[in-house]
Amino acid sequence: MEMLPDPVTNLLNLQVLVLKYSRSLKELPRYIKKLVNLKHLVFDENMDLLTHMPKGIGELKSLQTLPTFMVGKSSSSSNNKTVGAGLDELKGLNALRGELNIKNLVNAEFPSTDVYVLKKKLHLQSLILDWSPQRYVSDDDDNVRSTSTHAEGILEMLWPHPNLKKLMIRGDYYGLLELPNWLPNWLSSLVNLVEFSLIDCLQSEHLPPLHQLWCLKKLKIDNCPELKGINNDADRGDHCDPSPNSSTTEEKDDELPHFHCLAYLSLQNCPKLTLMPTFPSIEGELRLVSTSLKPLVRTMKMRRGGRQVVHSDEYTNSAFEEYDDADTALLPRPSSHLALPLSKLTDLTLNGIDDDLELLPGADFSSSCLISLQQLCVWSCSHGLKLPSSLCSSTSLTIITIGWCDRLEYLPPLHELVSLRELFIEGCPSLKGCWWKKKGNHDHSDPLMEEEDGEEADEEEWPHFRCLSSLKIKDCPNLTQMPLFPNLEVELKLWRTSTEALVRTMKMKVATTNHHDSQKHTSSAATMTNSYYSSSSSSSCTALLTPPLSNLTKLSIRGIDELHYIPEDGLRHLTSLQDFVIKNCSSLASLPPAMHCLTSLQTLYIRRCPQLAERCRKEEGEDWPNISHIPNILLDGEALQDYSGLGSLKMQYLCNKFS
């Protein structure tokens, strides 16, 4: 249905009109103004064919719900009339509440008199100003000036009520390089604004001082490639140019304002944005994608009174010795968010960062900063990347994701992270291994590769992750030297990488004790583990109390041509394994008799392993007796066995799941 029948407008007492799943609808009723009692007009935002609101919609004084208002377009005729309702019809809809998305602002016409269409909408909570699709202006100065003036007028028309809590500006509003001088007043009047998003503003170079929004908790800036600063006019200039390590910058950093209660910050595709208020109070997620690292560095190096910030419990009167008593009384005492910048941050994402991560202050992953960080994602950072060794001082970090860092060669000693549960490494072709301390060596300057006599270290000499539960390594062909992982429980994926660490892990020895020693070990297992990990020589490894990988439930090995065998002694310990996937391993010749020990195994999936395919043929292959007890066996897409009664659809689901 492309249009509602006109008789709908004869329902004069109609209060609610819901248009759901009507993507083919092109136009609302032309005489909608007759529905004077209408309170709620609801329709899907994905109604792409609906391009404008009908004229007269501004007469619905009782209307409370209108999710989207589409500005009508000027007619090409000489009378210059608009097709549909113009922006000025919003002026009378002062009962609107909730969210309002104003689309097609590129069609908005500047009125002859001052018109504020939003200022009296005190119940409006969320506002989206959408200039998409973008209108590009010519390079002619007069046209640019005329268009900019027009855009300033439209922005002034859209001045919201101070009760607004969420604001999004999307699209390049007529190519404005600078926002109007009065816009800081426009924004600062929004004293209750909690969320602000700026998206696809391709020309803007500066934003007003957003730190003056005292209630702002969430800030998102996306795809603003020319944006250089979030500041006052007085702050512009050389402030953002020096290197963040220079003394000049450190002195000026002390003068930078900061966001007061910002809890979430996302900066994406803003490579020139180097000058902005610091953000010490973030307590949720910080996302920096294809942008500069300098704002983060400045925040981590925040100073107070010319001094580096320290723990609040380390503050003493000596911090104020340079001031007289009268001056000291006027100084604000250290607050928790100033004493510990980013101390509440839990999730940090760095994606496509050109700056070297070594610019991050050295001690700031330790107890003096980022003490609450739980998730770290480093993605597509290829410019001389080297992760700081201080990363391993964190006691809260549980998930690390590292991907597509082409020049990354070594990782810090990640096994020292006492809370690390999940580790995912993908697409790092130069990655060789991890640093850790050799016996008698008290620095992390060299990775442990081989002993001095040229022989590889025994498994007892290799450190292992304390509580790592899930490990995924993909497309890291040179990663051969890394801590072992005997305590995995959830999943192990090794795709197109080395299996040396897996073989070493499977060969780890289990402690043998008598009855008295067994009781002693049982009662003090945690103590022994803690003492081991707190030891200065973390490269020495005690024997395990349980067999390696005995709690692992999923194992996936793919694209490893160098894998010729699976150690039988280690395989027999995988008694909790439920899913076993082997794919594109052309050199793997057989599955050993120890497969009988995998009593929990439910599904075996084998694909593109020619030698295994021949040996695992049902009733005929040499290895069939070793796997015949497994309920579900899939070989090159064919179900050899379905003892679980899953049926063809379920088996096909498993094929798709593991393929």
- Closest C-alpha among 377, 378, 373, 376 to residue 346: 373
* Close Cβ partners of 468 (under 8 Å, ≥ 6 residues apart): 420, 421, 422, 423, 485, 487, 488
Contact 26, 50 (CB under 8 A): yes
If you ran DSSP here, which 8-state letter would residue 532 be given? H
Bridge-partner residues for 477, per DSSP? none
Query: Rounded mean pLDDT of 575-596?
Result: 95
Name the percent of the chain lying above pLDDT 70.
Answer: 70
In the prediction, which pLDDT does 496 show? 96
- Give the position of tokens 């439910």: 602
Tens-digit pLDDT profile for residues 420-471: 999 999 999 999 988 655 444 444 444 444 433 334 555 556 899 989 999 9
In the prediction, which pLDDT does 180 show? 61
pLDDT band at 316 (very low <50, low <70, confident <90, very high): very low
Tens-digit pLDDT profile for residues 379-434: 998 665 677 777 888 889 999 999 999 888 889 899 999 999 999 999 999 999 88
Contact 259, 278 (CB under 8 A): yes
CA 464, chain centre distance (Å): 28
**Burial state string for 221-255 with b = 16 or more CB within 10 A and e = fewer than 16:** bbbbeebbbbbeeebeeebbeeebeeeebbebbee
pLDDT band at 477 (very low <50, low <70, confident <90, very high): very high
Q: Cα(116)–Cα(93) distance, rounded to whole angstroms? A: 12
Tens-digit pLDDT profile for residues 235-253: 444 444 444 444 444 445 5
Tokens for 428, please give them. Answer: 């790092």
Q: Please check the confidence at residue 315 and state whether its pLDDT lies above 90.
A: no
Which SS3 state, helix, strand or coil, does residue 108 take? coil
Average pLDDT of the residues of the chain: 78
How does strand 82-83 pair with strand 73-74? antiparallel
Say how many C-beta atoms besides its own lie within 10 A of residue 475's C-beta. Answer: 17
Say how many C-beta atoms besides its own lie within 10 A of residue 174's C-beta. Answer: 23
In the prediction, which pLDDT does 181 show? 57
If you ran DSSP here, which 8-state letter would residue 50 be given? -
Largest CA distance in the chain: 101
In the prediction, which pLDDT does 450 show? 40
Q: Please check the confidence at residue 630 and state whether its pLDDT lies above 90.
A: yes
Residue 630 dihedral angles phi and psi, to the nearest 5°: -80, 130
What residue ranges in 47-205 does DSSP mark as E strands? 68-70, 73-74, 82-83, 98-103, 124-130, 166-170, 195-199
Tokens for 47, please give them. Answer: 């109604």
Tens-digit pLDDT profile for residues 22-79: 778 888 888 899 999 999 999 877 777 788 899 999 999 999 999 999 998 765 443 5
Q: Cα(54)–Cα(51) distance, rounded to whole angstroms? A: 10
Which SS3 state, helix, strand or coil, does residue 237 take? coil
C-alpha dist (Å) from residue 643 to 576, 632, 634, 646, 653: 19, 6, 12, 8, 16
In the prediction, which pLDDT does 390 show? 75
Task: Report whether the peptide linkage leading into residue 413 is cis, meaning its omega lies within 30 degrees of zero.
Answer: no
Q: Please check the confidence at residue 522 and state whether its pLDDT lies above 80.
A: no
**Which has more pLDDT, 576 or 535?**
576
Q: Please check the confidence at residue 478 and state whether its pLDDT lies above 70.
A: yes
C-alpha dist (Å) from residue 310 to 315, 343, 345, 348, 363: 7, 11, 17, 21, 11
Contact 562, 586 (CB under 8 A): no
Question: SS3 breakdown of the chain: % helix, strand, coil, rounded to 5?
Answer: 25, 20, 55
- Closest C-alpha among 103, 89, 229 to residue 168: 103
- Give the position of tokens 């610091």: 278
* Close Cβ partners of 185 (under 8 Å, ≥ 6 residues apart): none
The amino acid occupying position 468 is L
Q: Please check the confidence at residue 296 and state whether its pLDDT lies above 60.
A: yes
In the prediction, which pLDDT does 628 show? 93
What is the sign, positive or negative, of the torsion defined by CA atoms of 200, 204, 205, 211? negative
pLDDT band at 653 (very low <50, low <70, confident <90, very high): low
In the prediction, which pLDDT does 431 show? 92
In the prediction, which pLDDT does 536 show? 35
Model pTM above 0.85? no
**What SS3 string covers 355-418?**
CCHHHCCCCCCCCCCCCCCCEEEEECCCCCCCCCHHHHHCCCCCEEEEECCCCCCEECCHHHCC
Q: Which helix (H) or strand (E) holds 211?
A: none
| Cα distance from N-terminal residue to C-terminal residue, the chain | 42
Contact 15, 39 (CB under 8 A): yes
Tens-digit pLDDT profile for residues 339-390: 578 889 999 999 998 877 766 765 445 545 788 999 999 999 866 567 777 7
In the prediction, which pLDDT does 524 show? 39
Contact 105, 71 (CB under 8 A): yes
**What SS3 string covers 267-300?**
EEEECCCCECCECCCCCCEEEEEEECCHHHHHHH
In the prediction, which pLDDT does 144 show? 39
If you ran DSSP here, which 8-state letter would residue 656 be given? H
Q: Please check the confidence at residue 143 and state whether its pLDDT lies above 80.
A: no
Contact 115, 83 (CB under 8 A): no
In the prediction, which pLDDT does 196 show? 96
- Closest C-alpha among 275, 160, 267, 159 to residue 219: 267
Q: Cα(58)–Cα(73) distance, rounded to whole angstroms? A: 16
Contact 390, 365 (CB under 8 A): yes
pLDDT band at 274 (very low <50, low <70, confident <90, very high): very high
Q: What is the DSSP string of 191-202?
A: TT--EEEEE---
Which of 41-55, 185-199, 614-628 bottoms out in mean pLDDT, i.e. has the lowest?
A: 41-55
Say how many C-beta atoms besides its own lie within 10 A of residue 118's C-beta. Answer: 21
